[in-house]
Structure 1
Amino acid sequence: MDKYNISRSNYFYAIGLSYKKADAHIRGRFSLNEDGKEKLLHQANENGIESLIVTSTCNRTEIYGFAQHPYQLIKLLCDNTEGTVEEFQRVAYIHKNQEAIAHMFRVGSGLDSQILGDFEIISQLKTSARISKKFSLLNHFTERLVNAVIQASKRIKTETDISSGATSVSFASVQYIFNTMEDVTNKNILLFGTGKIGRNTCENLVKHTKNEHITLINRTKDKAEKIAGKFNLLVKDYANLQEEISYADILIVATGAQRPTIDKHLLQLKKPLLILDLSIPKNVNENVKELEQVSLVHLDHLSQITDETLEKRREHIPLAESIIEEVKAEFNCWLETRKFVPTIKALKHKLSDFAAAELEIQRKKLNDFNETQAELISNNIIQKITNHFAHHLKEDGVSTDESLELIKKVFQLEELSKTNV
């Protein structure tokens, strides 16, 4: 049996795509909103999937789960997004067992983020695990793995400076605006949508510019008003979008739409307009570039902006990796132990049968047979024997697979242990 094949017929996989090989357009085709994730989890249940976590951010969409073949997970992703299997094959990655475990550690610890040290994904993993649990799609292995990744992430945050300095996509957005626009304090800024990066960008603009001309428009006005109250923004009706764009010097688009919400026909411009599209999928049609007064910048471009802060962060990668290896080793030790637990249980059951049979014989033979005392002694001996076997299996240098096979053979445990794996 494969060391990490927890359910005999199933293997643990991480399948997905990220900014490394998939551009914003392709990532958009595979992106999943909350409804999409729930539909995928429903389908996973219907297909008899044992355990599954799905995450979808602006930089990546991933599924971690158990399957006989990765295509089962790929099909779930393609059935619930606009992406095709052919597109997936061109840009995706598939990791199995130990590689999948290592991948989740790197992603959750910010080492695989588009901007090094961005820990946004760890909250996504936590939320995704919680949702999977509601759908009964979080087995003991996956829950333990997620908790180990959270532990590694916390340690890296506290024990290294890999996330020091204000570097994130929202910070890069603000940096870009400052480098591109003069007198930002007096510019009219319009935020369309309530995406997290857009909100953070506006919060930073409020902090650093004291700008009192920032307006928020969202399809759901209640949500807009709630957010506007936090960041000191003005709120306008969705019906006024075209009019507000005509007043704007800077338009920040952060909607969760699956199709472009801004195109050149909506823009009636009398002055230059800088558009920052902070959405995945892209929410601004490329045709706006046909207008001379428009400058369009997308999230992917902003993510490439590097500075001294990022260079300093890279110095802390080795320490972060050593923390991951330490926590991962603890997880794998637990996994190795879990592997022989069914056999130890089966052995204990077999020894208990031996004891019960012998007690029955002695009970018939002896008139003054002390049953309570005999059972206590028997149980203690059984516990000591099974403890010895367990300690042996935990020792370094011991071939666990060979030892397990020998124990099963000697005590004829195959049938007993098979039902527990």
Structure 2
Amino acid sequence: MAAAAAKHHTFYAIGISYRKADAEMRGAFSLSPDAIDSLLVQAKAEGIPSLAVISTCNRTELYGFAQHPFQLIKLLCEHSNGTVEQFEKIAYVHKNEKANNHLFSVGTGLDSQILGDFEIIGQLKLAFKKSKSYQLINPYMERLINAVIQASKRIKTETDLSSGATSVSFASVQYILQNFEKNSSQRITLFGTGKIGRNTCENLIKHTENKEITLINRTKNKAELIAGKFDLVVKDYAQLEEQIAQSDILIVATGAQNPTVSKDLIFTNRPLLILDLSIPKNVNENVRELENVKLIHLDELSRITNRTLENRVHFIPQAEVIINDIHNEFKLWQESRRFAPTMSALKNKLALLKEAEIKGNRTKITDFNQEQADLIADKIIQKIAGHFANHLRDEEENMEEAIELLNKVFKLEQVVF
């Protein structure tokens, strides 16, 4: 029964991204690490054979095999704050080849909010690694993600699609550079030292001459590790309100599921720029009620264009050639994999017929030569199998019908990969 059911599983990519979902809606569908763990546990219990989940500031997506995409949509909505009705308005569902194409586009930075942002491939690697720890990655998806990783590496080394610094963290620094004099000294507070916070800190040090940067994190020792690397000041979480009052720029990247900064924390009349780099939003919209505060969210930062990003568009065709090259290799593997079980079963069937015929004629033929009989029969089996393999390759659209016919004619055992 399990094998028969597995035959009807289809590969899907479902999710929401910055293309149609604003920051608030992406926040509703975002998944915390614990939520992803719970989702994977439930998927395994429900018989989903293979599934990987990614949730970043720009997208939340599920890649996996299911009998119907609603199985995956239901899992996403049950473990996030999004609803099926909301999903239907802003989401996408890709199937089989289109799902493959989507994963290649995402993993190589072509579908990133900032073109050429290669942070996503690291996030995909971690997502697939986590699923593998739950034994939720089948050979198909493992081969597919390895192909995407290979394409990402080649694009990075063979084109200039990823030239220059990128990502939302870089865009935030670009915004600061464009809105403040380069040699002026702003007091900057970075609240949150996760991956985005760390990258922002590095970009601040690298691209500005500002040394007045203070780090605050709920877990102080994490902030201290980063501060030690760059010789920066660290303050306790309890000092956040006091530190905001002394700041010109507040960068928030806490990764919390609810806002961590609101107007109740701001007791200063001096101009304050707040950059919220988080999904869900970590800064309450009520800060806009304060005349001295300017709030910029990452969606606005991502729309910042500069010469580096504009130049990248010219390298898209080169990237697409590399993707097509590696994707075609994956397709060849995929095609051979589709009829490999049938060909294996056919060879076994022909081998059984050979053994039966040899056994039946061994005593009937004078001076019967077992070795020659085996050699000739094996060559015939290889030729027959080769003809059938070529036929299946040529069928393409009707391959499933051809496989079914072979199974019926030779009464082969149903084998499903």
| Range into which the TM-score falls when normalised by the shorter chain | over 0.9
Residue equivalent to 1:217: 216
For the residues of structure 1 that align with 2:379 and 2:302, how far apart are their CA atoms? 62
Aligned counterparts of 2:256 and 2:292: Cα–Cα separation in 1: 25
Check conservation: 2:342, 2:415, Cα contact below 8 A: no
Q: Corresponding residue for 1:243?
A: 242
In the other structure, the counterpart of 2:19 is 20
CA–CA separation in structure 1 for the residues paired with 2:37 and 2:172: 31
Closer, same or farther: CA 29–401 of 1 in aligned 2, 3 Å: closer
Q: Where in structure 2 are the equivalents of 1:136-147 lying within 5 Å?
A: 136-147=135-146
The CA distance in 2 between the partners of 1:46 and 1:296, in whole Å, is: 44
- Separation (CA, whole Å) in 2 of partners of 1:204 and 1:100: 34
Deviations 1:385-417 (A, max 9, x none): 32343244335889645643553344333xx1x
Q: Cα gap change, 1:405/1:48 in structure 2, threshold over 3 Å: closer, same or farther?
A: closer
Match of 1:230 in 2: 229
Find out whether 1:330 has 2:329 as its counterpart.
Answer: yes
Query: Matches of 1:68 and 1:394 in 2, distance apart?
Result: 26
Q: 1:77 to 1:402 in 2, by over 3 A?
A: closer
In structure 2, C-alpha distance between the alignment counterparts of 1:231 and 1:103, rounded to whole Å: 38
Q: Secondary structure at the match of 1:13?
A: strand
2:357 paired with 1:358: yes
Mapped to 1, the partners of 2:144 and 2:272 lie a distance apart of 47
Aligned to 2:62, what secondary structure does the other structure show?
strand
Aligned 8 A contact 1:185 1:209 in 2? no
* Shift, 1:201, TM fit: 1.9
Mapped to 2, the partners of 1:58 and 1:305 lie a distance apart of: 16
CA distance in structure 1 between the aligned counterparts of 2:60 and 2:173, rounded to whole angstroms = 26
* 1:89-114 per-position Cα deviation (integer Å, ceiling 9, x unaligned): 11111111111111111111111100
State how far apart, in whole Å, the 2-side matches of 1:266 and 1:94 are: 41
Are residue 125 (structure 1) and residue 124 (structure 2) matched? yes
Q: CA deviation at 1:77?
A: 0.5
| 2:313 paired with 1:314 | yes
Alpha carbons 2:119, 2:167 under 8 Å: kept: no
Structure 1 residues 318 and 333 mapped into 2: Cα distance closer, same or farther (>3 Å)?
same
Distance apart, 1:322 and its partner CA: 2.3
Residue number in structure 1 paired with 2:259: 260
2:131 maps to a residue whose letter is S
Give the superposition deviation at 1:377: 5.1
Alpha-carbon distance between aligned partners in 2 of 1:73 and 1:396, rounded to the nearest angstrom: 31
One-letter amino acid of the counterpart of residue 24, structure 1: A
| Contact persistence 1:195–1:279 (CA under 8 A) | no
Code of the residue aligned with 1:213 in structure 2: it is: E
Looking at structure 2, the residues matched to 397 and 298 of structure 1 have their Cα atoms a distance apart, in angstroms, of 48
The match for 1:289 is 288
Contact 1:163 1:313 in 2 (8 A): yes
Q: CA deviation at 1:273?
A: 1.1
Q: What whole-Å deviation, never above 9, does each CA across 1:297-324 have from its counterpart, x for those lacking one?
A: 1100000001222221111222222222
Separation of aligned partners in 2, 1:6 and 1:103? 26
Asked if the contact 2:9–2:66 (Cα under 8 Å) also holds between the matched residues in 1, the reply is: yes
Q: 1:384 to 1:208 in 2, by over 3 A?
A: same
Count of matched residue positions in the alignment of Structure 1 and Structure 2: 414
Provide the TM-score with structure 2 as the length reference.
0.93
Aligned match of 2:39: 40
SS at match of 1:316: helix
Aligned to 1:98: 97
- Matched residue, 1:300: 299
Q: TM-score, normalised by structure 1?
A: 0.92
Deviates further, 55-64 or 394-403: 394-403
Give the CA RMSD over aligned residues: 2.3
- Sequence identity percentage: 62
Segments of 5+ residues of structure 1 without an aligned counterpart are: none
What is residue 189 of structure 2 aligned with on the other side?
190
Give the Cα–Cα distance (whole angstroms) in 2 for the partners of residues 98 and 183 of structure 1: 48
Q: Distance in 1 between matches of 2:231 and 2:195?
A: 16
